[in-house]
Structure 1
Amino acid sequence: MIVVTGATGNLGSATVEHLLRRVPADRIGVSVRDTARARHFADRGVRVRQGSYEDPAALRESFAGAEQVLLVSGNDPAADMVALHRNAVEAAVAAGVRRIVYTSQHGAVPGNPYRPSDFHLATEALLRGSGVAWTALRNGAYGPLDLVLGPWRRTGGIAGPQDGPVPYTDRADVAEATAVLLAGDRAVDGPVALTAPAAVTLDDLAETASRLTGRTVARVVQDDEEWVAGQLAAGVPEQPARLMLGWYRAARAGFFAEPGPLLTELLGREPRTVADRLAAGADG
Structure 2
Amino acid sequence: MIVVTGATGGLGGATVEHLLQRLPAERVGVSVRDPRRAGHLADRGVRVRRGSYEDPASLRDSFEGADQVLLVSGNDPTADLVELHGNAIEAAVAAGVRRVIYTGQHAATPDNPYPASQIHVATEAALADSGLAWTSLRNAAYGPLDVVLGPWSQTGEVAQPADGPVPYTDRADIAEATAVVLAAEHHRDGPVTLSAPTAVTLGDLAEIASGLTGRTVERVVVDDEQWIADQVANGTPPEAAEFMLTWYRAARAGHFADTDPLLPELLGRQPRTVAERLAETIAA
TM-score tier, shorter chain, comes to over 0.9
State the distance in 2 between where 1:247 and 1:61 align.
Answer: 37
**TM-score when normalising by structure 1:** 0.99
Q: Which residue of 2 aligns with 1:109?
A: 109
Please list every run of 5 or more consecutive structure 1 residues that lacks an aligned counterpart in the other structure.
Answer: none
1: distance between equivalents of 2:269 and 2:210? 27
Q: Match of 1:215?
A: 215
Q: What is the Cα deviation at residue 185 of structure 1?
A: 3.5
Q: How many equivalent residue pairs? A: 284
Asked whether the equivalents of residues 146 and 283 of structure 1 are also in contact (C-alpha less than 8 Å), the reply is: no
Give yes or no for contact 1:145–1:283 (8 Å, CA) kept in 2. no
1:270 aligns with 2:270: yes
Say if 2:30 and 2:46, in contact at 8 Å, map to a contact too: yes
CA distance in 2, matches of 1:7, 1:236: 28
- The superposition leaves residues 41-85 of structure 1 with CA deviations (integer Å, 9 ceiling, x where unpaired) of 000000000001000000000000000000000011110000000
Deviation at 1:201, TM superposition (A): 0.2
Percent identity of the aligned residues?
Answer: 71
In structure 2, the residue matched to 1:205 is: 205
Q: Distance in 2 between matches of 1:17 and 1:11?
A: 10
DSSP 3-state at the match of 1:109: coil
CA RMSD of aligned residues (A): 1.1
In the alignment, the residues of structure 2 paired with residue 186 and residue 156 of structure 1 have an alpha-carbon distance, to the nearest angstrom, of 43
Q: Deviations over 1:249-274 (max 9, x none)?
A: 00000000001111110000000011
Equivalent position of 2:254 in the other structure: 254
Query: In structure 2, what is the equivalent of residue 229 of structure 1?
Result: 229
- Summarize the alignment of residues 105-184 of structure 1 with structure 2, pairs less than 5 Å apart: 105-184=105-184
Deviation string, structure 1 residues 88-107 (Cα, Å, up to 9, x no partner): 00000110111000000001
SS at 2:84's partner residue?
helix
Partner of 2:38: 38
> Does 2:19 match 1:19?
yes
> Hey, what's the Cα distance between the residues in 1 that align with 2:73 and 2:186?
22
C-alpha distance in 2, partners of 1:8/1:260? 28
Q: What secondary structure does 2:69 align onto?
A: strand
Query: How far off is 1:148 after superposition?
Result: 1.1
Is the contact made by 2:180 and 2:186 (CA closer than 8 Å) also made in structure 1?
no
- 2:127 is paired with a residue whose SS is helix
The aligned amino acid for 1:273 is: T
Q: d(CA) in 2 for partners of 1:283 and 1:104?
A: 32
Report the secondary structure of 2:174's partner residue: helix
C-alpha contact (below 8 Å) 2:60/2:91 kept by paired residues = yes
Partners of 1:283 and 1:245 in 2: CA distance:
30
Distance 2:154 2:72 in 1: 35
Residue 156 of structure 1 and its aligned partner are, at CA, apart by 0.2
Give the Cα–Cα distance (whole angstroms) in 1 for the partners of residues 246 and 129 of structure 2: 29
CA distance in 2, matches of 1:185, 1:230: 47
Whether 1:62 and 2:62 are equivalent positions in the alignment is: yes
Contact 1:70 1:102 (C-alpha < 8 Å) held by counterparts: yes
CA spacing shift, 1:38–1:283, aligned 2, 3 Å:
farther
Contact 1:277 1:283 in 2 (8 A): no
TM-score, normalised to structure 2, is: 0.99
SS in 1 for 2:130: coil
The answer for the alignment partner of 1:87 in structure 2 is: 87
Superposed displacement of residue 283, structure 1:
10
Equivalent pair of 2:3/2:63 in contact (CA under 8 Å): yes
Secondary structure at the counterpart of residue 159 of structure 1:
strand
The AA in structure 1 aligned to 2:89 is V
CA contact (8 A) 1:163 1:251 kept: yes
Following the alignment from structure 2 to structure 1, what is the Cα–Cα distance between the partners of residues 117 and 75?
11
